[in-house]
Amino acid sequence: MLQGKIATSLSAIIPVGSRHANIAELHGEYRRGIEKTGLDCEFIYVLDGRHPDVVESLEALMRAGERLTVLQLSREFGESTAIMAAFEHASGNVILTLPAYFQIEADEIPRLVAALVSADVIVSQRRPRAGSAFERARRAAFHGLVNWMTRLNLHDLGCSARAMKRQVLEELSLYGDQHRLLPALADRQGFRVLEIDVRQSHKDRFEGSYRKREYLHRLLDVFAVFFLVRFTKKPLRFYGMVGAVLLVVGTILLVYLSVDRLVFQHGLADRPALILSSLVVVLGLQLLALGLLGELMIFTHARGMKDYQVDRIIEFPGDKSGP
């Protein structure tokens, strides 16, 4: 990790999906904001799918002298894949991810980059946030669930404007929609995550309305990251906990039915509870076995797995050997 100072170069990654603003206008604002950082910057646009209007705008910018790198993906793969594809072509020690639409005021970009002096990942929290009572409640519930599962304290994971040190993306592998929960994955790897307040763009016209299935997708993403953060290296704790509860419940039911049959002479042939309790016991045993298999796999590959970061090495002069 970089210690005590900001890197001297910056790569701005802008994934372009179905939602995007006027690219020429947006690029102009981003460029003016990034110029205030005083860092050399490269712009990398990733077209996630076919967007001929965006290609035309970017080609016009390049003809006007703008230094851009444009990646055209063969089809729509998702924003996480687009970010990782752009990172493979990025050379900066500081990575800045920006949305292809207006979210924050471009003048706030230097603050994001400057905050990397004290953290590895800088997350934006837009203020002030407008929206209906339902949207405010939805955001509060979503972030409350994420913060409870990840033990973080974040409030605007929907904001794509983030700054991070290069090593963060070198250590992470994003796919699907995991870009939204990148701070949680980075924290799991031992990187320092910091959220700062930034001014929301006055051109941000998105009202925060999603299709109903999008809410289910976000919920499933949260549970997926919860498992990745908490139990990737400890599968028995997850499967074993669930399996043990089912095994105990099923065993209690079986004992009750056995006592009821032997003591009170009640028949079992026409009682569905016998089949249900037996299935619960079998399911509990299967989950325990699955957790044990996971532990065996982790143990077998533990030597090649790394889930930590060395923040710094302090050496005393007297410990150094040599002439």
Positive or negative torsion for Cα 130, 133, 138, 141: positive
C-alpha gyration radius of the chain: 26
Helix residue ranges per DSSP H, 121-181: 133-150, 166-171
pLDDT in tens, 95-108: 999 999 999 999 99
Which helix (H) or strand (E) covers residue 193, if one does? strand 193-199
Residues in the chain: 323
Closest CA to 219 of 288, 120, 144: 144
User: CB under 8 Å, gap of 24 or more: what pairs does 109-112 form?
Assistant: 109/30, 109/33, 109/34, 109/36, 109/37, 109/161, 110/33, 110/34, 110/36, 110/37, 111/196, 111/198, 112/161, 112/162, 112/163, 112/196, 112/198
In Å, what is the CA distance from 173 to each residue of 87, 108, 167?
Answer: 11, 27, 12
Q: In one letter, which amino acid is 137?
A: A
Whole-angstrom distance, CA of residue 114 vs CA of residue 129: 23
List CB contacts of 79: < 8 A, sequence separation 6 or more.
15, 17, 48, 160, 177, 179
What is the pLDDT tens value at each position of the chain, 323 positions in all? 444 444 458 999 999 988 889 999 999 999 999 999 999 999 999 999 888 899 999 999 999 988 899 999 988 888 888 999 999 999 899 999 999 999 999 999 999 999 999 999 999 999 887 667 777 888 888 888 888 888 889 999 889 999 999 999 988 877 767 788 889 888 888 899 999 999 998 888 665 556 666 667 777 777 777 776 666 667 777 778 888 899 999 899 888 888 877 777 777 667 778 788 889 999 988 988 888 887 777 667 555 555 555 556 666 665 555 54
In the chain, where are the structural domains located? 9-231, 235-302
Largest CA distance in the chain: 91
Q: List, for residues 289-321, the tens digit of each pLDDT value.
A: 888 887 777 667 555 555 555 556 666 665 555
Question: Residue 184 is encoded by which pair of tokens?
Answer: 């949680």
204-222 in b/e burial notation, b at 16+ Cβ within 10 A?
A: beeeeeeeeeeeeebeebb
Kindly write down the DSSP assignment for every residue of 211-274, as one continuous string.
-HHHHHHHHHHHHHHHHHHHHSS-HHHHHHHHHHHHHHHHHHHHHHHHHHHHTT----TT-HHH
* CATH 3.90.550.10 is the classification of domain 9-231: yes
For 45, which DSSP code? E
